[in-house]
Every structure is written in structure tokens, then in C-alpha cells.
Amino acid sequence: MRKPPQLMYLSRKEEEDQDQPAPTTDQAGVSAPEGATSPAAPRPASPPQARGSGTSDDERFETASLEGMTMADLMGAADGASRQGRSSRSAGGAPSGTTPSRPARTVDDFDFDEDAFLAALDENEPVGATGDVVTGTVISSESDGVYIDIGGKAPGFMPKAEAGLGVIGNLKERFPKGQPVEVLVTREQNADGMVTISARALALRQSWEKVKQLEAAGKVVQVKVSGFNRGGVTCDLEGLRGFIPRSQLQNGENHEQLVGTSFAVAFLEVNADTRKLVLSEKRAASASLLAELEVGQLVDGQVVSVKPYGFFVDLGGVSGLLHQSSITGVHLRDIREAFSQGERLKALVTQIDPSRGRIALNTALLETQPGELLTAKDTVMAEAEDRANRARLLLRQQEQEAG
């Protein structure tokens, strides 16, 4: 009779135990207790009992082909690395089979339409970044704001408060359907693709730019007083709120009575970042006088202040500086040798700076020889008109030679 085959049963715990080294005798020479089973030794399984008289288990279940295989081989490893490690520990050391890898796909294997891709990008491209100026067409005017087509996937929305400078009562009259309008982007598109826009912000930007140009050119402008406080009065200029300190008013003592009146002002400070617009009525009066002056003109004034570097001369509402280097053609030990405070003099205008309100004067050009102003000052002042004509000719010749 043929001996029935025996199956070896190995649990995963036993497989892990097989990987550990067998215990050795400790340093004291004590060995493992007699009768203890070594962890590395496999535990034999009980042989199955034959079922039936004519057919063996080997023939019925074809178990002969499973001899020498572990449960890991039968169940399959969780990954390739575990399967390979376990197969190396299987009976006989024969490596187990590996699953063939899936071939990698390249870009050419996918359908790709470049034109459709670029068209999708253009369709979803954001319209207008914060601070951009865009032009659109009014779609509709509602009670809370205006919807404007600015070319994006969703219309731009302009809140009622941003419809312009001042108070706008009827949005439909101000923004009829189909009207082109230029606006400023104040907030980029949200999740729905809608952009927040403002006509008021754009008007304010343009107003600040215009005011800066007026300041740089030294212009004098007309304003109307709209209010007052302890420090001065307020006014409107190009849609901006301007402030005129009491010290810069011709009638600063009764400034509350100026509400509703109009007068000329010049610029003291223009700062769009801090929204400061400071004006001066007194400087406007000086600017008007400056506008009447020109380089080479002979002026008559009075010394109002003596400084180590020169004289300040009142020219009838504006002050000019007679620098020590322009008094005479010789070196001065003390500028008081030439003039004293309160003394009247005549001088040539050599430079005008309207933006800073400065006028440069010169008396040395009136001398026929260096130092003449110190030895014959009365003669120089008496002949100042004729000497000024000769000095202007000399200045023109110098400019032509320099040019």
C-alpha cells in the first residue's frame, strides 16, 4: 500500500521565527531545557486520513503538486518585494514567479489637440488684474450696481457707491444699456469669474495725476471753500478734498466767514498715497507776482532779513535771495559791508523757481569793475537801469557761447 503524502503546515508566525537565529548557550554555560523544541524546527502536521477506499487524497485533490509550497505561495504576497522574500524561504529555495509589469504609456498614446487646449486657456484666462484700467459695455443697471461686459467669462460688477465721484441718484440714467465705459479693476475675479470694478477709483486716480501736474508746473488754481474747522478751511479741487491752513489764508482770523467764497490758491503738498492735498492762498499771491517776473529783469526791493549766507529782499509780496556770492566781485569779510537790514536796493533777477517760490538776485552784474559796489554804491544804484541793459547783453552772449 502506498504511503499517503504528508503536508507541511507553516504559519506566518513560524516563518518569522525561522528568520531569527537559534538561541545559543549564554555566558554562564546554561543550555536550553531538555525537551524544549527549537524555534527553527518545523512542527509536523498530522497526516490526513484517507477518505474512501478506492481513491487517495493525492489523486482526488492533486495535492502532490503542492508539496514543498508555503501558505504565502498559495495566498499570494501583498507586494512584489514580500513575495520575492518569502519565495526565497520556500522549500528547496526555488524562486517564485513574478507578475509581468504593465508597459508604460507615453504622451503620444494620448489624444492631444493643441488648438483646443489654447482655446480653453484663452476662454478661462482672468480678465483684468487689480489696478488695471479696462473698457467695457453696460449690460444692465440694477438697484445695487451696474453689470458691465469687460470681455471675461462673467460680467464685471460695479457697486453703486463706486459709480463715480459725488452722489449718483439714478444709475439707469447715468449708465444706460450699451454705453461704453472705462473703469478700474479693484478686485480680481472670484470663483464665479466675476470682477469688481469702479468708475470712482479711476476718476480719483486721474484727479491725483492732474493735480500733480499742476503742482509741478507751479500753477495757481481757483477753489471754492466748502467747510471749515479749527485749523483752517476745506475746499474741492478736481473732485478731491483740499485743506487750507489758517496760516496760509489772507484772512485767517475770520476763516469761518470764507465758506462759499472763491479765491486763488497754490500747492503746498500733494500726496496721493496719504491723500493729503494742502493749499495756500498766500503762496498763490506770491505765485502771481512770480508770474510777472522774468530772468534779467531789474527789480527794486527792501532788505528784510540778513543771514550769514546772504540777504532776503522783499519785492512787494515775494522774497528774493541775494546770495553772498552774487553781491560783489570781491570777497566780503562781512556781508554787512554791502547792505544792512531795512535798506533798499536794486538787483537783477537771475533765476526763478515757481514750484518752490524762490527768486535769485544779483547786484555784482551791475558793477563795471569788481568791488565797485563797496566803494561807489550810490553810483551803482543810480545807474542801475543802464547797467542792467549792459548786463543782459552780457548774459545773452554767455548763454550763446555756452549753447
Tens of pLDDT, residues 170-182: 888 889 999 999 9
Give, in degrees to the nearest 5, the angle at Cα 53 between 48 and 55: 75
Q: Is the pLDDT of residue 63 over 90?
A: no
C-alpha cell at 217: 508746473
Check residue 150 and give its pLDDT. Answer: 86
Residue 342's Cβ-count burial label (10 Å; 0-12, 13-18, 19+) is exposed
Locate 276 and state its grid cell: 493729503
- What pLDDT shows up at residue 55? 53
Q: Find residue 392's DSSP bridge partners.
A: none
**Taking Cα atoms as reference points, which of 321, 301, 302, 325 lies closest to residue 311?**
321
pLDDT for residue 252: 82
251: Cα separation from own chain's centroid: 43
How many CA atoms are closer than 13 Å to the CA of 375, on its beta-carbon side? 8
pTM: 0.50
Count of H-run helices and E-run strands, the chain? 11, 15
Statement: residue 403 has pLDDT above 70: no
Q: Where are the beta strands (DSSP E) in 188-294?
A: 196-198, 221-228, 232-237, 240-245, 262-271, 276-280
Name the band, by pLDDT with cuts 50, 70 and 90, for residue 280: very high
Q: Is the pLDDT of residue 78 over 50?
A: no
By mean pLDDT, which of 35-44, 101-110, 230-239, 318-327 is the weakest? Answer: 35-44
| pLDDT value at residue 399 | 75
CA gap 296, 348 in Å, rounded: 6
Q: What is the pLDDT of residue 113?
A: 66
Give the residue-averaged pLDDT of 373-379.
92
Per-residue pLDDT tens over the stretch 286-300? 877 888 888 889 999
Choice between 24 and 150, residue whose per-residue pLDDT is larger: 150
CB 233 within 8 A of CB 197: no
Q: Is the pLDDT of residue 402 over 70?
A: yes
Is the per-residue pLDDT at 51 higher than 60?
no
Binning pLDDT at 50, 70 and 90, where does residue 32 land? very low
Q: Are 202 and 164 in contact (CB under 8 A)?
A: no
DSSP assignment of 151-164 equals SSSS-EEEEGGGSS
Mean pLDDT of 366-383: 92
Confidence of residue 64 (pLDDT cuts 50, 70, 90): low
Residue 134 host element (H or E): strand 133-141
Residue 29: pLDDT band (50, 70, 90) is very low
Q: Which of 199, 361, 376, 214 is nearest to 287 (CA)?
A: 214
Is it the case that residue 395 has pLDDT exceeding 70? yes
Whether the per-residue pLDDT at 85 is higher than 50: the answer is no
What are the tens digits of pLDDT across the range 195-253? Answer: 898 998 898 999 999 999 998 887 889 999 999 999 999 999 998 999 999 999 988 88
Q: What is the mean pLDDT of the chain?
A: 77
Check residue 46 and give its pLDDT: 46
In angstroms, the CA 357 to CA 318 distance is: 8
353, containing H or E segment: strand 344-353
**pLDDT tens string 186-199:** 887 777 678 898 99
- Quickly tell me which residue has 546772504 as its cell: 310
For the chain, list the domains and their CATH numbers: 58-87 (no CATH), 133-203 (2.40.50.140), 219-285 (2.40.50.140), 293-402 (2.40.50.140)
Grid cell of 192 as nine digits: 464665479
Those residues with Cβ within 8 angstroms of residue 240's Cβ, 6 or more apart along the chain or in another chain? 204, 207, 208, 211, 277
Q: In the block, which residue shows the cell 505765485?
A: 287
Condensed to tens digits (0 to 9), the pLDDT of residues 91-148 reads: 444 444 455 555 565 555 555 566 665 665 555 555 667 788 888 899 998 888 999 9
Question: Which band of pLDDT confidence, cut at 50, 70 and 90, is reported for residue 151?
Answer: confident
In terms of C-beta density within 10 A (0-12 exposed, 13-18 middle, 19 or more buried), how is residue 136 classed?
buried
493525492: which residue's cell? 58
Whole-angstrom Cα Rg for the chain: 50
Check if the beta carbon of residue 190 is closer than 8 Å to that of residue 197: no
Cα–Cα distance for residue pair 51/60, rounded to 1 Å: 10
